A and B are shown apart, each in its own frame.
Chain A
């Protein structure tokens, strides 16, 4: 998948968890918890949904790559290309 497609799909995935930020305002540098107000308790659900949506595995260590939108998208791209 090209990066734009991945980004679009990832933003669609996190949309129910984002509070008070319009989709058009989300940048690659946006932090899921601090900027997009995602409840930190729900972070694990975003990881599980990403695994299901993109058919990849994300280890506990690799979850750190999901702090910012751009890093998460890059990780997904790496994993889907590798697959």
Chain B
């Protein structure tokens, strides 16, 4: 069984694009939430969102004109984050005629894939009886695996190239899946994470379900309120987070820089029973997921220094905290440091777990825990946790961190990261 390490990362987030900018934004507690003119015009209840800012200049630095013509946001975010991750891991981008890299896999998950292509192009053209006008690239843009297929081809990857989809646990689940691929020796490395387009066609049914924040349209920065008494729903977002997971042997053989070790991971489902449903978590499922990850990692709960929570800014936050406390056998007053990256970047759905995993590894490596903003009115049911949730960045040497993500369908994923100590 191989040990698994993180040797590269890439990020496209609402509050920053690129690792250095993201690190700085996290440290400063910078929000990426802004008003959405489109949501307002369409009559959404929630009219704020987290949309990454990709300039034309950035696009031209990454993409050919042909790619720009034949791509969508999910693909663009995935390519930027994957290319950055690839280079961060010490590799050069391969030319189109390079040999196939049979030893590298790719798992880039998503909730809705090419939904923007489907909603803006395929559906209107089909309904207008202009099927013929869809052209050749609609297929590769509309399919759920558009991002992974695109990245796999650009990097010439010959391992499994696939897309997982488990709602809001997707990004973390991708890392769990990649961990097992490498642990079991199937590949030397994997490009793993998630990518999600900031599309109103995804957000529409979530707005209809009334799970998005609609009470802060005039205060976008204050809208995403995990752990707050006045949390009123999550703020939707798009983006991509990609990590290079690699076997320790392969990493050390080529002299790679190592950020962290992935000690373990676990994914499960609560069966939508005993308090669980399509939209709510079975508390036992969460606890079993966390404990399962700790068992694989061979880590005692007392060793966990920091938790990057799922923590969306909904009524589920206190329940999540109580489940984590029970899973770790630690009272609220003695919990690890806890924060919610979603307070800064909103909820990136299928990309959230991976964007937040990049945040987790950065904090472990750089020795800080970023602020969880917008919880000055901390939820009274979990008030004893308050001292463990930073209002400003704290400098602290965390060694071992948990990243947890939970999704519709009562699905859970959890990863255990350990700072690399040479």
Interface residues of A (CB under 8 A from B): 16, 41-45, 48
Q: Which residue of B has the minimal Cβ distance to A52?
A: B133
B300 at interface (Cβ–Cβ under 8 A)?
no
Interface residues of B (CB under 8 A from A): 65-66, 132-133, 135-137
Q: In the complex the two chains form, is B65's CB within 8 Å of A42's CB? A: no
Q: In the complex the two chains form, is B136's CB within 8 Å of A45's CB? A: yes
Q: Which of B66, B136, B137 has the most CB of A within 10 A?
A: B136
Q: In the complex the two chains form, is A44's CB within 8 Å of B66's CB? A: no
Rounded to whole angstroms, the CA-CA distance of A16 and B53 in the bound complex is: 28
Q: Which residue of A has the minimal Cβ distance to B137?
A: A45
Q: Which residue of A has the minimal Cβ distance to B64?
A: A16
Q: In the complex the two chains form, is A44's CB within 8 Å of B65's CB? A: no
Q: Which residue of B has the minimal Cβ distance to A58?
A: B132
Q: A16-B65, A43-B136, A45-B135 are in contact. List 6 more A-B contacts (CB 8 A).
A: A16-B66, A44-B135, A44-B136, A45-B136, A45-B137, A48-B132
Do most interface residues of chain B lie in helix, strand or loop, or is the interface mixed?
Answer: helix
Q: In the complex the two chains form, is B66's CB within 8 Å of A48's CB? A: no
Rounded to whole angstroms, the CA-CA distance of A22 and B211 in the bound complex is: 56
Rounded to whole angstroms, the CA-CA distance of A27 and B132 in the bound complex is: 29
B133: chain A residues at CB < 8 Å are: 48
Query: Can you sample 14 A-B contacts with CB below 8 Å?
Result: A16-B65, A16-B66, A41-B136, A42-B136, A42-B137, A43-B136, A44-B135, A44-B136, A45-B135, A45-B136, A45-B137, A48-B132, A48-B133, A48-B135
B132: chain A residues at CB < 8 Å are: 48
- Minimum CB–CB distance for A40 against chain B, Å: 9
Q: Which residue of B has the minimal Cβ distance to A17?
A: B66
- Minimum CB–CB distance for B63 against chain A, Å: 13
- Minimum CB–CB distance for B242 against chain A, Å: 27
Q: Which residue of B has the minimal Cβ distance to A60?
A: B132
B135: chain A residues at CB < 8 Å are: 44-45, 48
Q: Which residue of A has the minimal Cβ distance to B135?
A: A45
- Minimum CB–CB distance for B401 against chain A, Å: 44
A42: chain B residues at CB < 8 Å are: 136-137
A41: chain B residues at CB < 8 Å are: 136
A16: chain B residues at CB < 8 Å are: 65-66
- Minimum CB–CB distance for B302 against chain A, Å: 56
- Minimum CB–CB distance for B70 against chain A, Å: 9
- Minimum CB–CB distance for A11 against chain B, Å: 17
Rounded to whole angstroms, the CA-CA distance of A42 and B136 in the bound complex is: 6
B65: chain A residues at CB < 8 Å are: 16
Rounded to whole angstroms, the CA-CA distance of A43 and B136 in the bound complex is: 8
The 10 closest A-B pairs by CB, nearest first: A45-B135, A44-B136, A45-B136, A41-B136, A42-B136, A48-B135, A16-B66, A44-B135, A48-B133, A16-B65
- Minimum CB–CB distance for A45 against chain B, Å: 5
Q: Which residue of A has the minimal Cβ distance to B133?
A: A48
- Minimum CB–CB distance for A46 against chain B, Å: 9
Rounded to whole angstroms, the CA-CA distance of A43 and B137 in the bound complex is: 11
- Minimum CB–CB distance for B71 against chain A, Å: 14
Rounded to whole angstroms, the CA-CA distance of A9 and B94 in the bound complex is: 34
- Minimum CB–CB distance for B128 against chain A, Å: 15
